[in-house]
């Protein structure tokens, strides 16, 4: 799987996981931040290296976040701060769904720190 495809998969998962059942205290901020992360992922996918398709990729199984991260790590594509920012976004979404504004804002602050202004 090349890096472009894996980045697009990560972006698709990120977008698909943003369909909230209700609007939490940070929903708007999360949407804005996801747009910024998506842009970073797409830019990285366009400029990053690629690798040959593995035999595991031909087994008709969906890649897991761990297998994507391992593949990206093997070719040195996704910067660590982008990976950490995606993890912080998951935390923000979980806090938002619980209605925990403080935890959500803290996670979003971490994302901003990781990806910059």
Question: pLDDT grade, residue 2 (50/70/90)?
Answer: low
pLDDT at 9 over 90: no
- More reliable by pLDDT, 22 or 115: 115
DSSP 64: P
Which residues, in sequence order, are CB contacts of 34 under 8 Å at separation 6+? 14, 15, 18, 89
Q: Which pLDDT score is estimated for 3?
A: 62
φ, ψ of residue 102 to 5 degrees: the values are: -60, -50
> pLDDT tens across 36-77, in order?
887 877 776 677 666 677 777 777 777 776 676 676 666 655
Q: Which pLDDT score is estimated for 20?
A: 47
- Collect contacts of 5-8 with beta carbons under 8 A, ≥24 apart: 6/45, 6/63, 6/68, 6/71, 6/72, 6/77, 7/41, 7/42, 7/44, 7/45, 7/48, 7/72, 7/77, 7/78, 8/42, 8/45
As a whole number of angstroms, the distance between CA 62 and CA 40 comes to 23
């Amino acid at each position: 799987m090349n890096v472009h495809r894996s980045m697009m998969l990560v972006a698709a998962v990120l977008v698909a996981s943003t369909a909230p059942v209700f609007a939490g205290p940070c929903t708007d901020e999360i949407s804005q931040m996801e747009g910024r992360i998506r842009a970073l992922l797409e830019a990285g996918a366009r400029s990053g290296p690629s690798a040959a398709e593995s035999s595991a990729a031909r087994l008709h199984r969906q890649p897991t976040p761990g297998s994507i991260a391992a593949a990206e790590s093997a070719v040195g594509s996704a910067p660590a701060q982008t990976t950490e920012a995606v993890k912080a976004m998951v935390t923000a979404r979980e806090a938002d769904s619980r209605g925990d504004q403080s935890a959500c804002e803290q996670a979003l602050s971490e994302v901003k720190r990781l990806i910059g202004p």
